[in-house]
Structure 1
Amino acid sequence: MDFLQTAPQLVHPYRNDRTLLALLDRAVPPDRRSALDADLDALGDYAQLAWERARRSTPRTPVLTQWDAWGQRVDRIELTTAWQEGPQLTTRHAILAAGHEPHELARLEQFARVYLYHLASEFYTCPLAMTDGAVAALKASGNQALIERALPHFLSRDAATFWLSGQWMTETAGGSDVGRTGTVARQDATGQWRLHGRKWFSSAVVGEAALALARPEGAGDGTGALALFYVETMDGPARKPELVIDRLKDKLGTRELPTAEIHLDGLPAWPLGELAHGVRQVAPMLNVTRTWNAVCAVASMARALALACDYAARREAFGRPLIEQPLHAQTLADLRAQFEGAFALAFEVVQLLGRVEQGRAAPHEAALLRLLTPLAKLWTAKAAVALCSEALECFGGAGYIEDTGLPQLLRDAQVYAIWEGTTNVLALDSLRALAEGLPALRTAIEGWVNGSHEPEAVAPIHAALDAASAQLQALGGERADLEASARGLAITLARCAAAALLARQSTFARERGDMRPGAALRRFTAHGLERLAVTAVADTRLLL
């Protein structure tokens, strides 16, 4: 009889995630755990259900119907089952609302939910992230009329009144270079602002609202003349006719997420604040949406690792399970250490965000958040792609077969390095935060490693930090050399922060008899923390 390999099984994503459980044990007091555990357990159940459902069904993607049978323009988008379930799951488990409760653990409790829900949601978390960012931008604007109109919907715990918000920034001229935005805002005879233009990537076009950049008619050129507007997309059950969906994007991954190209043909809009400096008004979103990106990247790492480990216990080769093969076990242990470092950094940013928002931050923590947010986003994104690629290899040929569901992990992971700023954009942004952020990072790291039982693993953290500081000093104020070195500096600082956070967790766990975080720390630092680039401008030009 032919041998048939057993497929990997997804163990319960909450009950079996010792990394998440250890964080919650350390950070969340017992009186808050019962209600949180109920939501997290239910989301873990849903994640298992979604994984089994995906294995047993033909993959679906959104379908755009632009015209009905009688020639009426309808621009109707049919969504996948997980997306149809999104409003109920979001509101029932407070996936957005929990992050805005008035206590410093609000963001931690929210992102624990996000981490478990993300992959099961089929990237419904993308518009959730943008909605969360819109809440931040509206709060920062002080526009009380828009706050009172939109926030009760965005943070609703009732699916019947829940709204999603998009962010319509990107145009055909490019993504990060928003100064070339061509969308124009004009006032009609009644004084109502209306938007006219084309948006090239609109990932939440199925939502009920959006924030959009536009240039008020008559304003000058450049980024400073842009304004940020709030729009609503629906007229009762129908999409507003001034919002025209040209097509849905055919993407490498995140295929269940309907990303659209749209035209705005006089869509009513309301400015958040002054009719200028719209990009500055977008800034409050960035700490939020980049944090979502980092946590979701870590969630993809967790899923790939969980499946690879389960498969290694089931798959026998050369007379014994893969998990007992020394080289395979070494590979999985390396992946586990990388994941735990990424998890520690992403969730430290989560907790920093919560403390800063609630006014509970230490004096250095606002600057620390400003630096660690782009660092966490860029490094976890790259780490997710690398880990998912290695995890697929752990399945051999099965990892390359679409209907195993495994290749989707890698295809989807590639988006993390593109959303919310590419690696280079984020690295350059981190340069702008170094003046205050680097001293804040040193202060934080001293606290995180204090009392560590792993001095051999902690020493490389200080050495890598010193090397990064020395490179900055050697480069001086030479802008071209600074920019050329930005990626290496950013990844080095991210890895230093992750290692220090692993040291903190190791100290906490060791006191409770758990030696595994110490092993993760030692393995993580053994792979080196420095990723500093050698910037030889002449050689760079020769190679281009």
Structure 2
Amino acid sequence: MARSRRRCAGAAAMSFVQSAPELGNQYRDDRVLRSYLARTLPAALRETIEPDLELLGQHAADAWNERTHRPRSEPVFTPWDAWGNRVDRIALTPAWQEGPGIATRHGLIAAGHDEATGEHARVHQFALVYLYHVASEFYTCPLAMTDGAATALKASGNAALIARAVPRFLSRDAATFWLSGQWMTETAGGSDVGRSETEARRGADGQWRLYGRKWFTSAVVGEAALTLARPEGVGSGGSALAMFYLETHDAEGRWQGVRIDRLKDKLGTRELPTAEIHLDGALATPVGELRNGVRMIAPVLNITRLWNAVCSLATMRRCLALARDYAHRRSAFGRTLLEQPLHVDTLAGMQAEFEAAFHLSFHVAELLGRAQAGVASAGERALLRLLTPLAKLWTGKLAVKIASETLEAFGGMGYLEDTGLPQLLRDAQVYPIWEGTTNVLALDALRVLEGGGLAPWRHALDALLDATGADHAAIRADADAAEAWLRGCADDRLALEAGARGLALTLTRCFAAALLARHAAWALSVQADRRPHAALQRFLAHGLQHLRRHDIDDAATLANDFHP
């Protein structure tokens, strides 16, 4: 019997065990990021910020490599204590507990507002965010809203609120750092915020208090929030909403007119405590005039949409890094996956899409930095208004596609929870939903185009292509087609809206191709690196046009096909 057990043990010891993918320093290993920063940032600034990039790159690797050795944790909501007192306490995950220290130490929000770096502030900031995001377990979500709140308050001109809140939002000290929420979504209105029902009432003491239900509050653990509410007695519609600032706790740390109903049970981003809440007399301060709150909160959306795009990039990059490492390790049919032509072709296609998306998203960061520093031209500001929804729209969908393809690249192991891989796909699905769905963003972009946004887009695209010294006739031809399609639908509102998603994708891919062409020419000339050029050729082969004009009646018939 003992001999039999020894034979079994020996056989088990000889059986093959596949090694798991591992990550190296995610800054040093990221050729696309390093090449982009070399082209974009002054050498002195790169040298200054590189230690932070190195540290976050290693943090990203360590967090992933350790994740498979510890169980996942989620926030825990406790509404009552043992004696029946209402406490509404949320216990956070370890990654969220260390979030304030990392965010302030590396200046993840402060860097984006650093006047010393001028127009490069946003590129610096989003390079940090890009490296930190996946390891943060979506702590970047409240960071994005805090960045947006700081931006909106600075734009409001409300000196008292700027003095009180903005230094805390931009603090580089965890002890004084505040998070801010962005509380807009209600049961009556998601993207249609004009249907918001939260009411603002002014008491005899002159203090405003808010009453209502907020359906998604992803930064309920923050110290402050910007929210929309309807002042008592005003009319309906979005223009009658006002933007208010509130602080969630009083001086003794008690909730201040805020009651947590429950945490959302979500497909992904489960470490992020997203709550349903009631405002029951929450003390609040109007940020500006008691109307046009949607317009006043728009800077928050513009900022968070760019964060969304960069975080989508971070997920894509993580997927590609893991898939490439595994392709070196995994053998099938006598060859590693990296020696299998079809697998190599699949990875190359994913890489090409990612590189184009990277250059588009970081170009938006460049434009934002220039606008913030006061050096952007009128054309650049118009381009920023168009590219912000376009970048978020495209990268959100692309992250889901690449995450799904990555799981497939691992075969059955990609479907196992304890590999950590399924979480990449579940989490990615939030990107097309947060801060405006694909269709909402396409219609936002359409409004920008109808306001004269196409001319700055085309001027910038042609300038990028001219700078490469090559013809790039295919990109220009697809840009021509997009312009022609828009003109052709100008008098047909239904067709224009029905085709808005295809138009948005076409404009996005054309501009991304021009940006990738510009970088490819630079990389070949300065770094003797032909990989960006190879990415460009493959990206072009995937096609740029998504234009279509279908019969509206046929579409309605298919969409309403409820009967056999």
What TM-score, normalized to structure 1? 0.98
Residues 338-417 of structure 1 correspond to what in structure 2 (within 5 A)?
338-417=353-432
Q: Which residue of 1 aligns with 2:453?
A: 437
Instruction: State which drifts further: 174-183 or 269-278.
Output: 174-183
* Match in the other structure for 2:482: 468
Identity %: 63
- CA–CA distance in 2 between the matches of 1:341 and 1:472? 24
Q: Is the 8 A contact 2:247 2:256 kept in 1?
A: no
Q: Who is 1:506 aligned against?
A: 520
Task: For 1:294-373, list aligned pairs within 5 A.
Answer: 294-373=309-388
Between 147-156 and 228-237, the greater mean CA deviation after superposition: 228-237
Which of the residues 100, 111, 119 maps onto 2:113?
100
SS at the partner of 1:77?
Answer: strand
What's the counterpart of residue 28 of structure 1? Answer: 41
Q: Verify the 8 A CA contact 1:11 1:306 in the aligned structure 2.
A: no
Q: Deviations over 1:238-279 (max 9, x none)?
A: 332411000000000000000000001100000000001110
SS of equivalent residue, structure 1 residue 235: coil
1:478 aligned residue: 492
Q: Which residue of 2 aligns with 1:260?
A: 275
In structure 1, what is the Cα distance between the partners aligned to 2:241 and 2:467? 50
AA partner of residue 479 (structure 1): R
1:451–1:180 CA distance, 2 compared to 1 (3 A): closer
Q: Which amino acid aligns with 1:446?
A: D
- 3-state DSSP of counterpart to 1:186: strand
Over residues 353-411 of structure 1, what are the superposed CA-to-partner deviations in whole Å (9 max), with x where a residue is unaligned? 00011111133101100100000000010011111101110000000001100000010
Higher Rg of the two aligned structures? 2
- Alignment check: 8 A CA contact 1:460 1:529 kept: no
1:477 is displaced (CA, Å) by 2.6
8 Å CA contact 1:75–1:239 kept in 2: the answer is no
* TM-fit CA distance, 1:450: 1.9
Of 88, 96, 111, the residue aligned with 1:83 is 96
Q: Which has the larger displacement, 472-481 or 515-524?
A: 472-481
Aligned to 1:49: 62
Q: Tell me the alpha carbon deviations over residues 74-131 of structure 1, each in whole angstroms, 9 at most, x when there is no partner.
A: 1110000010000000000001000001100000000000000001100000000000
In structure 1, how many angstroms separate the alpha carbons of the residues matched to 2:166 and 2:94?
26
Query: Match for residue 3 of structure 2?
Result: none
Matched position secondary structure for 1:449: helix
The answer to whether the aligner puts 1:63 opposite 2:76 as a matched pair is: yes
Q: Deviations over 1:185-235 (max 9, x none)?
A: 011221100000100000000000000100001011111111000000122
Residue 345 of structure 1 contacts residue 376 of structure 1 at CA under 8 Å; is this kept in 2?
yes
Partner of residue 272, structure 1 = 287
Counterpart residue type for residue 73 of structure 2: R
What per-residue deviation string (whole Å, max 9, x for no partner) do you get for residues 283-336 of structure 1?
Answer: 122221111010000110000011000000100000010011000000000000
* Separation (CA, whole Å) in 2 of partners of 1:402 and 1:237: 42
What amino acid sits opposite 2:281 in the alignment? Answer: G
1:126 equivalent in structure 2: 141
TM-score by length of 2: 0.95
Distance 2:322 2:32 in 1: 16
Asked whether the 8 Å contact 2:264–2:274 carries over to 1, the reply is yes
Shift in Å, 1:31: 1.0
| Cα offset, 1:446, TM superposition | 1.5
Give the deviation of 1:454 after TM superposition. Answer: 5.5
Separation of aligned partners in 2, 1:253 and 1:474 = 41
Residue 13 of structure 1, CA deviation: 0.8
Residues in 2 aligned to 1:504 and 1:437: alpha-carbon distance in whole angstroms: 22
- The answer on 1:137 being equivalent to 2:152 is yes
Query: Would the aligned equivalents of 1:97 and 1:155 in 2 still touch at CA under 8 Å?
Result: yes
**Mind listing any 5+ residue stretches in structure 1 that lack a counterpart?**
none
| Structure 1 residue identity aligned to 2:219 | A
SS state of the match for residue 68, structure 2?
helix
Distance in 1 separating the partners of 2:76 and 2:267: 17
- What do residues 54-92 of structure 1 show as CA deviations (whole Å, max 9, x unaligned)? 211111110001111111111110000010000000000
Contact 1:228-1:275 at 8 Å conserved across structures: yes
- Give distance in 1, aligned partners of 2:442 and 2:548: 13
Is the Cα–Cα contact under 8 Å of residues 259 and 278 in structure 2 kept in the other structure?
A: yes
The 3-state SS of whatever aligns with 1:156 is coil
1:40 corresponds, among 29, 39, 53, to 53
Measured in 2, the distance between the counterparts of 1:125 and 1:63 equals 19
For residue 212 of structure 2, what is the aligned residue in structure 1? 197
1:494 maps to: 508
Instruction: Verify: 1:419 aligned to 2:434, yes or no.
Output: yes
CA contact (8 A) 1:499 1:524 kept: yes
Farther-moved stretch of structure 1 (20-29 vs 359-368): 359-368
Task: Quote the Cα distance in structure 1 between the aligned partners of 2:204 and 2:467.
Answer: 68
Q: Could you tell me how far apart the structure 2 residues matched to 1:438 and 1:224 are?
A: 27
Aligned length: 542
Distance 2:322 2:474 in 1: 32
For 2:392, give the aligned amino acid.
K
Check conservation: 1:454, 1:518, Cα contact below 8 A. no
Aligned residues of 1:131 and 1:166 also touching (Cα < 8 A)? yes
Secondary structure at 1:263's aligned position in 2?
Answer: strand
Matched AA of 2:106: H
Superposition CA RMSD, Å = 1.0
**Could you list the per-position Cα deviations for residues 148-190 of structure 1 after superposition, in whole angstroms to 9, with x for gaps in the alignment?**
0000100000000000000110001131011111110011221
Q: Which residue of 2 aligns with 1:452?
A: 468
Give secondary structure in 1 for the equivalent of 2:188. Answer: coil
Aligned with 1:367: secondary structure? helix
SS in structure 2 at match of 1:368: helix
Find out whether 1:3 has 2:16 as its counterpart. Answer: yes
Distance, in Å, in 1 between the alignment partners of 2:369 and 2:469 is 29
